[in-house]
Each structure stands twice: as structure tokens, then as C-alpha cells.
């Protein structure tokens, strides 16, 4: 197959993104489409509509390919299914970026889109044993596996999109793999689509590499993940299904392992499985002391090793899978040990021991958090909302909280002192001015694991409630954690007069 069309599509995708992203940033700067989330490490607001540029690049590349290489019949239908379903999945994610839909609605939407792909004939239909070359028809199970595959790939990319450049970099590697696999199978449109997205993601990383100037958002993450999933399905229809489907799994080994552990961890703690947190691999690397840039480069390096294994799976037509899988597991274990987070990564046993206690406390804390966020719309002032937050802290059995932003400080103390000492932790919030919340709770009131969980939920609850209050009452102002001096806030020099003991 001639490489010129692939190069043209890659350049076209990159140029489209490089032109559109500055425009998107100007249009969305400091507006309602910027990201301010507890699990992000940015203090400044960053646009989360980078996925618009990626989808636009895909559309431009698709139009060129349709005119350059016209087809009809079955091949045209396959092209239309790929393009249409990928753009609908992008629209679902973009809708969530503009107005949060909730995890259940998003999951239902992903399932319906994936089912539509099966209905129009793009699905896993048979399985070929790479050792005996025997072919097994999957029947109805093919549709079930196809839906699970597309939904899983869509969410893997979305769930790892928590640090600058990670999702874009892994997506870039996947597009390189898919373009190569499609080239070998002589699949014209999948090759050119993957090449175009390779260029688009390369241009996107120009603005998404640390420190990020734009995020891909749910729209971009859903789009990239789903496109990876559906292109692998098309490859599997032309080649051996094991090599076409297992190779991407090897390339995505790092995010799949991280996401799998995250889902298991959240399930045991009673948290929604799609709820963002600060326990992902990249968060742990940053806590070890690595910068955002070095963290991403480390993860790129590990992903490159797994990408080479993916090429090995494809070159061997699946025959090297057992050997490469052993190397993959060994690499993951050695990496976890090398960066001193193996105890955290494989702490599922300890979490399981305390699962019932943590789940009960988590459900109660989530109910209080939801109530506080709803109260944000009814509160007359930020000071009034802070009173509600103090009530929430008391119900969660914290003993004190000290909040700092710029030169202002507020403090709250419970009426009782712990008998057996106290736990203490600080959560940095993603706001200008060095915002932090310092929590403490008595050791006689809760275990350390429960305290870590509740303090994270409480910090996130206040950020969400304060953000919602601002959006409802003063959308034009920058968000301040603390009430203004007119509302009763205090400076660092004299916070004690504002917070009498709770009786």
C-alpha cells in the first residue's frame, strides 16, 4: 500500500488541530467550559473542549478520503458505520462536558451506540485459534463481546485522562499500531483514519503536554477510545481475531491495569466506579516526588515497552501471547516495586478487610456531600454555605478544619478533643491562591483508612458546593474558597474570633 495517502492524512489531521485549538482556547477561556475538578492538579482554569478539534480533524480527514478513494456497497457501509458511530460517541462525551449527564446515562448511551454498531454489521463474528487455525463461530456471543469491547475501550481512555498528555500520548501510540496493522491487512480507510488521528493527536499534544493548555474532555476521550475499539474490530474481520484484538490489549496494558484496580478499589469502598479520584498510577508517581512532566515520560516509557509487545503479538499472529503475557506481568510488578508503590497498588486485601466499614461511612459521606451541593443554590452567601459545610464536617466526625486561600484563613473546631490522638491530612484544591484544607479527626472515632476516604470526600464536596454557589450567584467572579471580608471572613492574624466552639 502506498504510504503517501497516510502521510497526507497525518499532516492534514495535525494542521487542522493546530489551527482549531488556539481558536477554541480563546472562545472558552475562563468560561463555563473550563475544567475545575478535585482530581485535577491544575490551579488555573483550562478548557476541556480539546476533543472538538480532534473530532473536527477526523471529519476533515474523512471527507478527503471519501473523495480521494470513493467506494460503494459493503465497504461504503463500513466506512459510514465507523464515522457515524465515532461522532455520535464524541457527541455523548461533549454533552457531558457541557452539561454533566451522570454515570448511568453515559453508560447507557455507550451501550446503545455500541449495539448500533453491531446492528449495522461491524462486530466480532468468529474466533480463530492461532495454534490450530481452527475457526469457531461466536453467534450471538459475538454481539455481546463487541458491545463490551467498545464500551471498555471507550472508558479506559476516559478514566486515564487525569494528567496532562497521558491519554493523548497513549492514543497516539495506539493509532500508530492500528495504522501499521491495517497497512499489513490492506485496509485502506482504517489505515488512513488512524494516520489522520495520529497527526491530530500529535498536534493536540503540542497544547496538552505538561503544563496543559487544553484538555480533551470526555468528548475527546470517548472519541479516541471508541475509535480505537471500532478500528480493531474492523481489523479482526480481515485478519486473525486473536492478533487483532489482543495486540491492542497489550499496548493498553498499563491503563487497563490501572483502571481495573481503580474500579475494584472504588467498588470495595462503596464509591461509584466512574467517580474520579486521586489514587491512579500517575497520582501515586507524583506523590513519590516526580513532576507532571517526568511522570508522563515514565508512563510513556512503560507504554512504549508494552507497545513493542503488541507488535510482537501481531507479528507472531498471536502465537507469542503466553510468553509475552508473562513478560507483561513481570514488567508491571517490577515497575510497581521500582517506584515504591507496590504496597499501594496491591493493597486490595487490606481494603477488603475493612470494606464493610468503609462502604458504610462512604455512603453516608456521599449523601451529606450531595446535600451540601444542593444547598449551594439556596445559600444566600458563601458564609452561609460555609456554615452548612461545618455541619457536614461535624456529622462526618471530624474534629477540626483549617482552610487557607491566599492571605485568608478560616478554622473550625469541634466541641470535643480526641482522647487517643488524631489523624491529620491536607488536601490542595485546584484554585488560584494556594488553596488548602487541613482536616483532623480523632483516632478513637475512625480508622486511618476511613479518615483518608472521608477527608477526600469532604474536600471534594466543598469544592463542588463552592463552585456551584458561584455559578448560581456570582458567575462573573473568580472562585474564592472563603467568604469575602464583608461576609465575615478573617485574615490569618485573627481567625479565632470567627469560629466559636460548636455546642
For the ranges 11-20, 277-286, 457-466, the lowest mean pLDDT is seen at: 277-286
pLDDT at 4 over 50: yes
Q: List the domain boundaries for the chain.
A: 4-253, 354-498
Q: ω before 211 within 30° of 0 (cis)?
A: yes
Assigned C-alpha cell, 329:
506481568
Q: Which residues are bridge partners to 422 per DSSP? A: 442
Contact 499, 400 (CB under 8 A): no
pLDDT for position 201: 96
Q: Mean pLDDT in the chain?
A: 81
pLDDT for position 223: 95
Using one digit for the tens of pLDDT, what is the confidence trace for 165-199?
888 999 999 999 888 888 766 788 999 999 999 99
Using one digit for the tens of pLDDT, what is the confidence trace for 224-275?
999 999 998 887 765 555 666 778 888 888 888 888 877 777 777 777 776 7
Residue 501: what are its φ and ψ, rounded to 5°? Answer: -55, 140
Contact 235, 181 (CB under 8 A): yes
pLDDT at 84 over 80: yes
Structure pTM?
0.78
pLDDT at 87 over 70: yes
pLDDT for position 381: 86
CA distance 206 to 203: 5
Q: For residues 96-110, b (16+ Cβ closer than 10 Å) or e, as one string?
A: bbeeebeeeebbebb
pLDDT for position 250: 85
pLDDT for position 7: 93
**Averaged pLDDT, 316-335:** 79
Could you give the percent of the chain with pLDDT greater than 90? 31
CA distance 477 to 499: 26
Residue 125: pLDDT band (50, 70, 90) is confident
CA distance 164 to 60: 26
Which one, of 57, 49, 154, lies nearest residue 94 by Cα?
A: 49
pLDDT at 35 over 60: no
More confident residue, 460 or 280: 460
Contact 87, 59 (CB under 8 A): yes
pLDDT at 398 over 70: yes
Q: For residues 21-44, b (16+ Cβ closer than 10 Å) or e, as one string?
A: beebbeebeeeebbbbbbbbbbee
More confident residue, 381 or 197: 197
For the ranges 313-317, 368-372, 414-418, 431-435, the lowest mean pLDDT is seen at: 431-435
Q: Which helix (H) or strand (E) holds 423?
A: strand 422-428
pLDDT at 350 over 70: no
pLDDT for position 292: 83
pLDDT at 63 over 70: yes
Could you give the percent of the chain with pLDDT greater than 70? 80
For the ranges 14-28, 92-106, 259-273, 396-410, the lowest mean pLDDT is seen at: 259-273
Contact 436, 406 (CB under 8 A): no
The Cβ of residue 439 has, within 10 Å, a number of other Cβ atoms equal to 25
Which one, of 337, 156, 120, 294, lies nearest residue 229 by Cα?
A: 156
CA atoms within 13 A on the CB side of 463: 23
Using one digit for the tens of pLDDT, what is the confidence trace for 201-231?
999 999 998 888 899 989 999 999 999 999 9
More confident residue, 320 or 89: 89
CA distance 388 to 414: 14
CA distance 8 to 69: 13
The DSSP symbol for 164 reads: T
Report helix, strand and coil shares of the chain as percent, to nearest 5. 65, 10, 30
Assigned C-alpha cell, 58:
477526523
- CATH architecture entry for 354-498: 2-Layer Sandwich (3.30)
CA distance 429 to 40: 9
Residues 6 or more apart whose Cβ sits within 8 Å of residue 120: 77, 81
Helix (H, G, I), strand (E, B) or coil at 476: coil
pLDDT for position 9: 95
Amino acid at each position: 500500500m502506498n504510504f503517501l495517502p497516510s502521510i497526507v492524512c497525518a499532516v492534514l489531521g495535525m494542521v487542522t488541530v493546530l489551527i482549531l485549538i488556539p481558536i477554541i482556547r480563546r472562545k472558552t477561556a475562563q468560561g463555563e467550559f473550563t475544567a475545575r475538578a478535585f482530581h485535577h492538579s491544575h490551579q488555573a482554569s483550562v478548557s476541556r473542549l480539546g476533543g472538538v478539534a480532534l473530532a473536527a480533524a477526523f471529519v476533515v480527514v474523512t471527507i478527503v478520503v471519501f473523495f480521494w478513494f470513493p467506494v460503494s456497497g459493503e465497504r461504503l457501509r463500513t466506512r459510514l458505520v465507523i464515522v457515524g458511530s465515532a461522532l455520535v460517541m464524541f457527541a455523548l462525551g461533549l454533552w457531558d462536558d457541557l452539561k454533566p449527564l451522570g454515570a448511568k446515562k453515559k453508560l447507557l448511551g455507550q451501550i446503545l451506540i455500541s449495539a448500533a454498531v453491531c446492528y449495522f454489521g461491524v462486530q466480532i463474528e468468529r474466533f480463530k485459534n492461532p495454534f490450530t487455525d481452527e475457526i469457531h463461530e461466536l453467534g450471538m456471543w459475538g454481539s455481546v463481546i463487541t458491545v463490551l469491547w467498545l464500551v471498555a475501550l471507550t472508558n479506559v481512555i476516559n478514566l486515564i485522562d487525569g494528567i496532562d498528555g497521558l491519554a493523548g500520548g497513549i492514543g497516539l501510540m495506539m493509532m500508530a499500531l492500528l495504522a501499521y496493522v491495517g497497512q499489513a491487512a490492506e485496509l485502506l480507510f482504517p489505515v488512513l483514519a488512524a494516520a489522520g488521528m495520529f497527526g491530530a493527536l500529535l498536534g493536540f499534544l503540542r497544547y496538552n503536554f505538561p503544563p496543559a493548555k487544553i484538555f480533551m474532555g470526555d468528548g475527546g476521550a470517548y472519541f479516541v477510545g471508541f475509535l480505537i475499539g471500532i478500528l480493531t474490530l474492523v481489523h479482526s474481520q480481515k485478519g486473525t481475531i486473536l492478533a487483532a484484538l489482543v495486540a491492542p490489549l497489550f499496548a493498553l496494558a498499563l491503563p487497563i491495569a490501572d483502571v481495573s484496580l481503580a474500579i475494584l478499589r472504588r467498588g470495595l469502598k462503596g464509591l461509584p466506579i466512574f467517580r474520579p479520584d486521586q489514587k491512579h498510577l500517575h497520582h501515586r508517581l507524583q506523590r513519590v516526588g516526580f513532576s507532571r512532566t517526568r511522570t508522563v515520560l515514565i508512563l510513556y516509557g512503560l507504554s512504549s515497552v508494552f507497545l513493542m509487545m503488541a507488535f510482537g503479538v501481531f507479528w507472531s499472529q498471536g502465537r507469542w501471547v503466553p510468553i509475552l503475557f508473562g513478560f507483561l506481568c513481570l514488567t508491571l510488578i517490577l515497575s510497581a516495586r521500582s517506584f515504591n508503590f507496590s504496597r499501594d497498588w496491591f493493597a486490595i486485601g487490606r481494603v477488603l478487610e475493612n470494606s464493610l466499614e468503609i462502604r458504610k461511612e462512604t455512603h453516608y459521606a456521599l449523601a451529606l456531600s450531595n446535600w451540601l451541593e444542593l444547598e449551594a443554590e439556596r445559600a444566600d452567601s458563601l458564609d452561609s454555605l460555609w456554615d452548612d459545610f461545618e455541619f457536614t464536617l461535624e456529622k462526618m466526625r471530624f474534629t477540626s478544619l483549617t482552610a487557607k486561600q491566599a492571605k485568608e484563613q478560616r478554622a473550625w473546631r469541634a466541641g470535643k478533643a480526641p482522647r487517643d490522638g488524631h489523624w491529620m491530612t491536607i488536601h490542595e484544591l485546584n484554585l488560584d491562591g494556594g488553596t488548602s484544607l487541613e482536616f483532623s479527626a480523632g483516632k478513637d472515632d475512625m480508622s486511618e483508612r476511613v479518615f483518608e476516604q472521608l477527608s477526600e470526600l469532604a474536600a471534594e464536596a466543598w469544592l463542588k458546593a463552592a463552585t456551584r454557589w458561584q455559578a448560581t450567584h456570582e458567575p462573573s467572579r473568580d472562585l474564592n474558597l472563603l467568604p469575602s471580608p464583608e461576609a465575615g471572613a478573617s485574615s490569618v492574624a485573627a481567625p479565632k474570633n470567627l469560629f466559636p466552639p460548636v455546642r
